[in-house]
Structures are given as structure tokens and as C-alpha cells.
Chains A and B, each alone.
With several copies, the nearest count.
Chain A
């Protein structure tokens, strides 16, 4: 598991330097430089959206800072939540006077730090709400849905909330649509090969040369089964079946994200998408704005996830609204 890096402990800061140098619409801010915000700052009178999470998932989280998406992002070390200071900075920097939605994945560290940041900020009287991404169906049963982890599907919540905030909606409305987008989204992943945390001397898990693991988390947390590699169509079929079983698509319309975990080539993602589209067509579900590519990764992990985002008219409108960040653009 070779990596092109310098000191492993400098990894995150060098990545952020490169990211912001290459994309001037993003700037580093915050006490420790661990917040990415829009270069233009928060528009006064707009509800702010602050997110955050661990490093190692580019374009998530920092890459989605942009118009029609999120305003600020607190970023931690690889697979570690952002620290309290960064969370506080991200919330403050997203404050345009109409409150801030905290929108991030449902991970222990992230939650504790955003919570503590909120407590510290109480006296500053920034009105905040929280919505947690919980789309990974392999990370909790149906009746524990609120305990599920947030993975690739989080970007649909960014999109909905970001579009609503850009419209000038108030915090309650932005919060409502973020929650609605989370509720409408389900994801499952399949892993082919692990990644390695830069400071660790071995990969986060190991899989035999002919094995895959269904349902694995984006940090390499255990999945539902581990078995021999199967044909792509069989893998997709199982993923789609599991997603639809967890959430019947009553609206008849979805957006789908076929997401690469990092090391899986675009070619394979298109092979997966082809089958997924076929299956959805058979199920008489219309696909709107499909996304195929590396949207939420785990460094050099190999594999893919599929997210289904069931949309009604409101979510469809928010999804189609203009958005622009270095890694996702809706014209």
C-alpha cells in the first residue's frame, strides 16, 4: 500500500494546501487552518451550512464547499472527527445572521465535537440545528435507523439543504429539507481492497485476492458478508435489492449515485451503472440526474457504493437547482 506523501503526520495539512491552491474558491481558515470555507465568505442573510468530518474521503467533505452546497467544513485528521475548535470555527464562519445548520455524518467523534462546539457557542447566540447523515443501510437495522452512519449519500443532503439555503429559506426550512433528503437516501457499499491510514503501518483490513465484502463501511468497518468476487451484475443486483428492500421508492423517481471508493476505475463504475439503470428501469423507477464517479472515497480503497435518493417534486427541484463546487456542478 504505497503512498505518495511526505511526513505521514503532515498529510492532511499538505492535502489542504494543495486543495486550496488548486481551487481558489476554497480557502483554509480557522485557528488551526482546519476549516475550509468559500473564498467569498458567507452571504449575509443566508442560512449557513457547516459540515465536517475526518480526512481521507475527498471530494468529501471539504470539496463540497461552494454555492448551492455547503458553506464551511471542519476537517479532522484521517478518519478522525474535526476537533472542537474547528467545529466552532466552521459554525462561526457559516453564520450569516440567520442561523447555521450543522450537517454531517453520524460518527461518534464528529457528533461529540459538534455538540461541544455548540455548547461553547451558546453564549454567542448563533442559532443552530443539526441533521446527521445516516444513509449506510449496512451500519444499522431498520429499527435503529438513527444509529446508522452517514456515507456517500450525504452529498444529496448537502444539495437539498444548500439549494434551499441559497433560495433564502429560513433555518427551519433548510433543516427540514436536509432531514427529508437524509430520510430519502440509502447507500450500500462493496469493498474489493483496503486503504491504509498514512500513520498506520498496515491496511485497515485485509481481503483475499479473490474476495469482496458487501456492506463494508468507508473506514473499513465490517460488512454483511465476505465471499468470492462475483460478476458485476450479480453484485449490483444484490445492492439494488437491498436498497429497495430498505426503502421502497414510492415516488417512482430517484437519483442514483454510483460512487467509486478511490482505487476503482471509472470503467468499472460505468459497468455497475449500466446494470443499476437496467434494474431500475425494470422496476419502473425513473432516474433523474445520475452521478457516476468518485464522490466520497476512502483514499485508495477499492470498491464502490450505490446510493438511491428517492425524490418527490420538492427534492427534484432542489436537486436540479444550480450548484457549483470544484467536484460537483449543476448548471
Chain B
């Protein structure tokens, strides 16, 4: 039975990087509707930096996550990028000293990251942010220990959460002031997470 290792993380990063080519302007476009139009370019840069970080020789999963967190932090100070780095730091803390974790530990890892991101950013579940997508995926992979099933469920959950929030309004940031305008469009952070899950879970 397989477990999550540093190699899986490296593969996920490569997958994400490959996906960003097409995603960059799609995410910029989504962000430009209510925000400042930079989500895609920011994530492209961030993921490029993750890909540059050589994690092959890291002794533990924790060290890998930590190295990636530091790379992410160096790449940006945007909301989403910083939350992303916060999630990676949490993952690092939770995997101290471990070379691999079973797939069934992905759900608690995601949940803990989500909580850390909530604490850092001050948003709540239901606010129509990246948090809701992480939450949904965490729930979907809960208890699963088979990588194929995990991938399947994660992808499915991504579609579900996107659809569910499509007609909701944003409740954080300046967008909350113009709640109506955010109905009928995807939150760029949520969209980014779902699309990257799709890419990584091929």
C-alpha cells in the first residue's frame, strides 16, 4: 500500500506547474471581476518557486513542506499566496519526523491547514473563499486510504463546491460590499484550488 512521500509532493508541484500555463490568465480574469486581476500571475510565480525548490534530498515530509512553505513565502505577499504558505507550514508541523504518511492522513492535514488559514486570514467557512474548497475536499477524502479513490473524490468535491458557491455571494474583502456582483461567478481562490486539485489528481 502506497503512502504520501516527498516524491508525491514533488510530482504534485510539477503537475501544478504544468497546469498553470493554461490557468494563469483564467485566474487573472476571475480575479479581475471583483479583485485586482492578479491571482493567476501570482500563483504562477509561486508555483514556479515551489518547483525550483529542490526537495529531493529532504529527510522528511516535514522538511519538504517547510522548504516549500519558505519558497511560497518568498514568492509573494498576496492574500492567497500567504494563506497557501500558511497551509504548507501547518502541514510541515503535522508531519515532523515522518518520511511518509498514509493517504488517510491527507484529510486531517487539509483540515488542520484550513483551520490555520482561517486563523490567519480571519475568514469563515461559507464566505466563498479558497477555504470552502479545502474544506470540501478534506471532507471528501476523509477515511480514504487508496490514492485513486482519494484523487477521484477530491476532484468530485472540487466540482461540487464550485457549483454550490457559484450563485452565492462573497462575504470577505471589498467584494462583500458588492455582494450581488459576486453572484454568478467563481471565487478566484476557490477556482484555483479546485483546478490545481484537478491537475494534481490526474
Contacts and interface: CB of A to CB of B under 8 A. Distances in A.
Direct contact of A and B (CB under 8 A): yes
Nearest to B120: A112
Interface stretch (B6-14, B50-58, B79-87): B79-87
Interface in B70-85: 73-79, 81-83, 85
A109 B36 contact: no
Given A112-B82, A112-B120, A205-B32, A221 B73 contact: no
B82 A197 contact: no
B143 interface: no
Interface stretch (A76-84, A121-129, A166-174, A275-283): A76-84
A158 B42 CA distance: 29
Interface string A17-28: 000000000000
A211 to B, nearest CB: 16
B177 interface: yes
Contacts of B41: 8, 197, 199-200
Nearest to A56: B36
Contact of B178 (A107, A108, A222): A222
Given A199-B41, A220-B37, A109 B177 contact: no
Interface in B5-37: 24-25, 28-29, 32, 34-37
Interface in B105-121: 120-121
A89 interface: no
A113 interface: yes
B38 A109 contact: no
Contacts of A141: 177
Given A85-B73, A201-B25, A80 B81 contact: yes
B73 A81 contact: no
Instruction: State the 4 A-B residue pairs at the shortest beta-carbon distance, nearest first.
Output: A219-B36, A81-B77, A199-B41, A108-B79
23 contacts: A79-B37, A79-B78, A83-B75, A83-B82, A84-B73, A84-B85, A112-B79, A113-B77, A139-B177, A140-B174, A196-B37, A197-B38, A199-B44, A200-B25, A201-B28, A202-B25, A202-B28, A203-B37, A219-B35, A219-B37, A220-B37, A222-B174, A222-B178
Interface of A: 8-9, 32, 54, 74, 76-87, 107-110, 112-113, 115-116, 138-141, 149, 196-197, 199-205, 217, 219-222
Interface of B: 24-25, 28-29, 32, 34-38, 40-42, 44-45, 73-79, 81-83, 85-86, 120-121, 172-175, 177-178, 181
